[in-house]
């Protein structure tokens, strides 16, 4: 009978060790991926545009924010694929796709966002509908 109790006790100790992970420490959490932020400062000519290509090295949510100071000027922000060009005052190019756009007529801020795959190019166009040039800041953030 004592032998049976010893086996039961031993079996219970083994179960507790297995249930507790066998003495291994718990897995440490994965580090949170940090966003990548790029800053550009295009000056957009009056009744013109500026183009900025951004190569994406890691897949993630991409956000582009355009800021300028003169609220009397109307600037818009377009995100296209790398096949787009502006010709004759409009988007052109075989396979050109507008992925996202921000076309507010008031204020000094435009933002576009969406997923971007590693190895792709985010092509941004800033269009100035005012007759005078405008200095801008364009911030692009990729959150993996």
73 assigned to some structural domain = yes
Tell me how many degrees the CA angle 70-73-76 measures, rounded to the nearest 5.
Answer: 115
| CA–CA gap between residue 47 and residue 51 (Å, rounded) | 14
Indicate the SS3 state at residue 2: helix
pLDDT digits (tens, 9 = 90+) for 71-82: 999 999 999 999
26 assigned to some structural domain = no
100 assigned to some structural domain = yes
47: region left, alpha or beta (phi > 0 left; psi from -120 to 50 alpha):
left
What is the CATH number for 138? 2.60.120.380
**Number of folded domains that form the chain:** 1
Indicate if the pLDDT at residue 106 is higher than 70: yes
Indicate if the pLDDT at residue 12 is higher than 90: no
92 assigned to some structural domain = yes
pLDDT digits (tens, 9 = 90+) for 109-144: 999 999 999 999 999 999 999 999 999 999 999 999
Which domain, by its residues, includes 47?
A: 36-143
49 assigned to some structural domain = yes
75 assigned to some structural domain = yes
pLDDT digits (tens, 9 = 90+) for 92-101: 999 999 999 9
């Amino acid at each position: 009978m004592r032998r049976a109790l010893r086996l039961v006790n031993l079996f219970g100790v083994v179960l507790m060790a297995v249930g507790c992970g066998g003495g291994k420490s718990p897995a440490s959490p994965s580090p949170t991926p940090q966003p990548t932020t790029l800053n550009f400062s295009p000056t957009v000519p009056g009744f013109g545009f500026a183009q900025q290509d951004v190569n994406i090295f890691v897949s993630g949510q991409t956000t582009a924010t355009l800021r300028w100071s003169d609220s009397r000027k109307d600037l818009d922000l377009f995100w296209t694929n790398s096949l787009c060009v502006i010709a004759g005052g409009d988007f052109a190019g075989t396979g050109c796709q507008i992925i996202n756009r921000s076309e507010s007529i008031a204020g000094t801020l435009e933002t576009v966002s969406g997923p971007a795959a590693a190895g792709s190019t985010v092509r941004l166009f800033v269009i100035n509908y005012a007759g005078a040039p405008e200095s801008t800041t364009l911030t692009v953030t990729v959150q993996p």
